[in-house]
A and B are shown apart, each in its own frame.
Chain A
Amino acid sequence: MNIERVREILDRAYEENRKTLYEYEAKEIADIVGIPTPKHIFIEDLESLDTDKISFNEPYVIKIVSPQVIHKSDVGGVVVNISREQLEEAIKKMIDTVKSKVANASIKGVLIEEMADKGVETIVGYIRDPQFGPVVMFGLGGIFVEVYKDVSFRLAPLSMEDALSMVKEVKAYKILSGYRGIPPSDINKISDVITRIGDLGYKFPEIREIDINPLVAYPDRVLALDVRIILGGDYG
């Protein structure tokens, strides 16, 4: 793990007085610690965008990057299924929409990602609790977490075996083991992400919370589509 680079990213956010990392920063940290993310590129200077130079394939997902926008999709800051041809136009439109909804939004740039295939949506989380220290969470996305609060927790850092037992502990585990035409998900890769997120939080006390939501699981791999890292642990 390139600890120096992670430190740099966290320090920059701290200096800029940002509690939530930009998504492209969080994704870079994910890449560093070995959590797979979709291919992506962060465009800061939108004037110089040359869509032909994007090395990965369409369709794309575009996401707004703005310090004022935390819940991106609530304000039209996420648009999916865009072809290379539509890209410039779609970006302009997204920025207008966001600005009309968040009056003072300063646009830092746009994150362009390869659109991921459908899979089983899971959530992997981390929190540094004032009492118990580093803790990781796992659950299945959508109603399982939102409505049933069907999640499991462990103190971090944790072993691969512990992480596997967390995955198997949730009631919705059946869905991961293959259910009504849904192929079985790669629970070893999910568990690997859980241990890595636990190690990351453990090593950096200034990280207060992490949400990977969703971490999409496929039969042979996983992909972190959205990563949020919130600071404020020992930084106060």
Chain B
Amino acid sequence: MDREIKEKIKYLLYPRSVAVIGASRNPRKIGFQVVYNLIKDGYKGRIYPINPNADEILGLKCYPNILDAPDDIDLAMIVVPASKVLNVLNEVVRKKVRSVAIISSGFSELGKKDLEDAIVNICREHKIPLLGPNIVGIINTNNNMNLSFCPHLPFKGKITFITQSGALAIGLIGWTWASRIGISKLISIGNMAMIGFEELIEFLEEDRDTEAVLLYIEGVKNGRLFAEVSKKVSRKKPLIAIKAGKSLRGAKAAASHTGSLAGNVMLYETAFKYAGIVSADGLEDGFDKALALSLQPPLYGDNLVVVTNGGGAGVLSSDYAEKFGVPLKDLPKDLVNAVKELIPPFGSPNNPIDLTGNAYRDDYIRVLDTVFRHPWVDGVVSIYVHAAITDPVEIADGIAQVWRNYRDKPITVCMIGGREVQVANIWLRDNGIPVYPTPRRAISAMAALRQYGLFLERERGNGGMVRNKEISS
């Protein structure tokens, strides 16, 4: 893709001025929702509603044509019907707008490929990046830009979510608040007529507001390019992919064994592996892994320790650790002896360390500190099963306090107790610690940190320790 177009992608996400072409006074129209959401959520740029039949929309002066707007426009968001998009686009070009996004549908997804191609050609000719058509919009929590018909901004954080399904974007916003999953940007890419996963991932490589990129993929434009770009970006920040849509294409067309076995899903998984992309099994798993990878350092080395106050949760962790490729090992003798001093005689000083149900905040602190401090230990999963005598918020605070001193080693936490541990969960997440309701999910998140750590170790041709070192390409 043209370099000038690539360089302008930033205007899609960080525009200083937005024109909404097809802005409306009718609250039931998307042209209203988009302007309303920009204002309501506090977008930190200038807004220019464009509509020939209105003087004012939501207190903002409205212009009959984008050419009348008294300002440079970084981003034109088009919401007029598909049949009017070409006319509007010609005006956008004359205005020398820096980037274009189209919410309107009625293009290739309805068989109107010619119309879509015509739009792409105009944008390409004038070196304007085009997002869409057929998108929900663009959301950036860093400049409070809700340029979409999603009801409100997601919970703010460091995950950028690129989705091929617009409805998923809308649906997940409430979830990000309920689970405190921090989102940096939410980008709906619709028909990917020009800008697709490949270009956005490459842009995000240098984006300081993004620590992890989560992808919901049905199909990419160019698999090989996607793999190459992702591999380059993975060296700097983790990518997580949810692949949907299973195809039998491979099985039909093939004349060889290899061809019949190389189905769509298999090849995507192969490309993910090549690129260091952490593959996720559905939405929940995707966000679980993205959360851990956006908050925690990778797991370098595979000496994982589980610290729990409940035996059953420990046994389950042990099973899942093996299943997800980070099997628990016996601890070094000196560490076992040190832990033994700190726990009751009926606890277990070896991996998983069982503090027993009598463990209070100070017990967690002492044991976690001893474990984190030991050079053999690479990462920790800390489990709390709610008990009648202990306060989960106290425990959570204790865990957060210890980890603050060992930020180069990753931690994930499991808090079992549902409503009883809600406040503790919020406390942990606000302190940068990913927390999950089951051992399975806490271990799976840690395994994702290991998968990414392993990728980085291999990329640097160095099986040894790379902890504490700046990640660079």
Asked if B26 is at the interface (CB within 8 A of a chain A CB), the reply is: no
* Complex: A137 Cα to B266 Cα, angstroms: 11
Are the C-beta atoms of A127 and B262 separated by less than 8 Å? yes
Asked if A129 is at the interface (CB within 8 A of a chain B CB), the reply is: yes
Are the C-beta atoms of A127 and B254 separated by less than 8 Å? yes
Asked if B246 is at the interface (CB within 8 A of a chain A CB), the reply is: no
Which of B255, B256, B270 has most A Cβ within 10 Å?
Answer: B256
* Complex: A208 Cα to B256 Cα, angstroms: 10
* Complex: A209 Cα to B262 Cα, angstroms: 11
* Complex: A235 Cα to B132 Cα, angstroms: 33
Partner of B256, one of A133, A139, A149, A211: A211
Contact with A along B276-307 (1 / 0, CB 8 A): 00000000000000000000000000000000
* Complex: A145 Cα to B261 Cα, angstroms: 9
* Complex: A135 Cα to B274 Cα, angstroms: 11
Asked if B462 is at the interface (CB within 8 A of a chain A CB), the reply is: no
* Complex: A151 Cα to B261 Cα, angstroms: 8
How big is chain B's contact interface, by range? 20 to 34
Are the C-beta atoms of B220 and A209 separated by less than 8 Å? no
* Complex: A131 Cα to B197 Cα, angstroms: 14
Q: What DSSP secondary structure best describes chain A's contact surface?
A: strand
* Complex: A210 Cα to B259 Cα, angstroms: 9
* Complex: A155 Cα to B271 Cα, angstroms: 7
* Complex: A228 Cα to B258 Cα, angstroms: 11
Q: What DSSP secondary structure best describes chain B's contact surface?
A: helix
Residue of B at shortest CB range from A230?
A: B255
Are the C-beta atoms of A125 and B270 separated by less than 8 Å? no
Asked if B224 is at the interface (CB within 8 A of a chain A CB), the reply is: yes
Asked if A123 is at the interface (CB within 8 A of a chain B CB), the reply is: yes
Which chain A residues (102-160) contact chain B, with CB distance < 8 Å?
Answer: 123, 125-127, 129, 131-133, 135, 137, 139, 145, 149, 151, 153-155
Contact with A along B222-245 (1 / 0, CB 8 A): 111001000000000000000000
Are the C-beta atoms of A129 and B267 separated by less than 8 Å? yes
Asked if B373 is at the interface (CB within 8 A of a chain A CB), the reply is: no
* Complex: A8 Cα to B370 Cα, angstroms: 69
Which chain A residues (65-98) contact chain B, with CB distance < 8 Å?
Answer: none
Are the C-beta atoms of A137 and B267 separated by less than 8 Å? no
Are the C-beta atoms of B227 and A132 separated by less than 8 Å? yes
Asked if A195 is at the interface (CB within 8 A of a chain B CB), the reply is: no
Are the C-beta atoms of B274 and A155 separated by less than 8 Å? yes
* Residues in B whose Cβ lies below 8 Å from that of A135: 262, 267, 270
Asked if A185 is at the interface (CB within 8 A of a chain B CB), the reply is: no
Are the C-beta atoms of A125 and B274 separated by less than 8 Å? no
* Complex: A156 Cα to B257 Cα, angstroms: 18
Asked if B16 is at the interface (CB within 8 A of a chain A CB), the reply is: no
* Minimum C-beta distance from A169 to chain B (A): 9
How big is chain A's contact interface, by range? 20 to 34
Are the C-beta atoms of A123 and B270 separated by less than 8 Å? no
* Residues in B whose Cβ lies below 8 Å from that of A228: 256
Which of A19, A132, A153, A230 has most B Cβ within 10 Å?
Answer: A132
* Complex: A129 Cα to B271 Cα, angstroms: 12
Asked if B273 is at the interface (CB within 8 A of a chain A CB), the reply is: yes
* Minimum C-beta distance from A47 to chain B (A): 33
Asked if A191 is at the interface (CB within 8 A of a chain B CB), the reply is: no
* Residues in A whose Cβ lies below 8 Å from that of B256: 125, 127, 209-211, 228, 230
Partner of A131, one of B224, B255, B261: B224
* Residues in A whose Cβ lies below 8 Å from that of B224: 131-133, 155
With known contacts A131-B222, A131-B224, A133-B224, A126–B270 Cβ distance under 8 A: no
With known contacts A132-B271, A154-B274, A125–B257 Cβ distance under 8 A: yes
* Residues in B whose Cβ lies below 8 Å from that of A151: 261
* Complex: A164 Cα to B85 Cα, angstroms: 53
Are the C-beta atoms of A137 and B262 separated by less than 8 Å? yes
* Residues in B whose Cβ lies below 8 Å from that of A210: 256, 258
Are the C-beta atoms of A137 and B261 separated by less than 8 Å? yes
* Complex: A160 Cα to B9 Cα, angstroms: 38
* Complex: A78 Cα to B356 Cα, angstroms: 69
* Residues in A whose Cβ lies below 8 Å from that of B220: 131
Are the C-beta atoms of A132 and B261 separated by less than 8 Å? no
Partner of A153, one of B254, B255, B270: B270
Asked if A37 is at the interface (CB within 8 A of a chain B CB), the reply is: no
* Residues in B whose Cβ lies below 8 Å from that of A230: 255-256
* Complex: A19 Cα to B261 Cα, angstroms: 20
* Minimum C-beta distance from B466 to chain A (A): 18
* Residues in B whose Cβ lies below 8 Å from that of A137: 258, 261-262
* Complex: A211 Cα to B273 Cα, angstroms: 23
* Minimum C-beta distance from A6 to chain B (A): 19
With known contacts A131-B220, A132-B227, A155–B261 Cβ distance under 8 A: no
* Complex: A137 Cα to B227 Cα, angstroms: 17
* Complex: A127 Cα to B255 Cα, angstroms: 10
* Minimum C-beta distance from B400 to chain A (A): 38
Using A125-B261, A133-B223 as known contacts, list a sample of 5 further A-B pairs with CB atoms less than 8 Å apart, ordered by residue number in A.
Answer: A127-B254, A129-B267, A131-B219, A131-B267, A132-B227
Provide 28 A-B residue pairs closer than 8 Å at the C-beta atoms, listed in order of the A residue. A20-B255, A123-B257, A125-B258, A127-B254, A127-B256, A127-B259, A127-B262, A129-B223, A129-B262, A131-B219, A131-B220, A132-B270, A135-B270, A137-B258, A137-B262, A145-B261, A149-B261, A151-B261, A153-B262, A153-B266, A153-B267, A153-B269, A155-B270, A208-B255, A208-B259, A209-B255, A209-B258, A230-B255
Binding site for A on B (CB under 8 A): 219-220, 222-224, 227, 254-259, 261-262, 266-267, 269-271, 273-274
Binding site for B on A (CB under 8 A): 19-20, 123, 125-127, 129, 131-133, 135, 137, 139, 145, 149, 151, 153-155, 208-211, 213, 228, 230
7 shortest interchain CB distances as A-B pairs: A125-B258, A131-B223, A132-B223, A209-B256, A153-B270, A133-B224, A211-B256
